[in-house]
Amino acid sequence: MWAIALLLISALSTIAWFKTRAVNKYRFDLLAVISGSAGLMFLVDNIYSYLNEGVLFEFNYDAVLLTITLVISALLTWLAILIYSVKFKQMT
C-alpha cells in the first residue's frame, strides 16, 4: 500500500512540476524524485516479498500507519529542502 501511495505522489508531483517548471518556485521536481525513488524501492520490496511469501500488497492497520508515516516523511523532507533553499538564496 505504501508503494502505491508514494508512486501516486510521485506522479502527481511530476504533473505539477511540468505545469510549473518555468517558475520552479515550489521545486516539485524534488518531491517527485524523493517520492518516486522511495516508491520504487518499496515496490521492489513488495515484489520480493511476493516471491517469498505470496503477498504483494498489504492492506491492514500497520500498512496504513506506515503509509501515512512515509508520506509525511517525504513531504517534510521536501519542505525542509524548500525552506533551506529559500533561506540560502536570501543569504547570498
> Residue 9: what pLDDT?
96
State the cell numbers at 22: 518555468
Whether the Cβ atoms of residue 15 and residue 28 lie closer than 8 Å to each other: no
70 in Cβ contact with 5 (< 8 Å): yes
List the chain residues with pLDDT less than 50.
none
The whole-number pLDDT of residue 2 equals 86
CA 24 to chain centre: 18
